[in-house]
């Protein structure tokens, strides 16, 4: 659990896309719920695509539908 927290903090500090996504939704809990929703509905090709889909709602078509 501590390692996951450490990685999350490092990514939040260094990843511009994550910072922009967090700024867009304003709260970490909303960001995690939005990420969870996208993971359940779409096949996520990359973290960049995920963050871009959160920042710009119109880019969700680039994620790919989850047909499993």
Q: What is the pTM of this model?
A: 0.74
Q: What are phi and psi of 63, to 5 degrees?
A: -80, -35
Q: Where are the domains of the chain?
A: 2-62
Residues with Cβ < 8 Å from 35, sequence gap 6 or more?
50, 54
58 touches 35 (CB < 8 A): no
Spatial distance between the Cα atoms of 68 and 64, rounded to a whole number of angstroms = 12
pLDDT digits (tens, 9 = 90+) for 16-27: 999 999 999 999
**pLDDT score for 67:** 64
């Amino acid at each position: 659990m501590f390692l996951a927290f450490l990685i999350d903090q490092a990514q939040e500090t260094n990843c511009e896309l994550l910072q922009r996504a967090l700024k867009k939704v304003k709260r970490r809990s909303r960001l995690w719920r939005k990420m969870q929703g996208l993971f359940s509905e779409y096949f996520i090709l990359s973290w960049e695509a995920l963050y871009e889909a959160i920042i710009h709602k119109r880019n969700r078509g680039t994620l790919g539908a989850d047909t499993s």
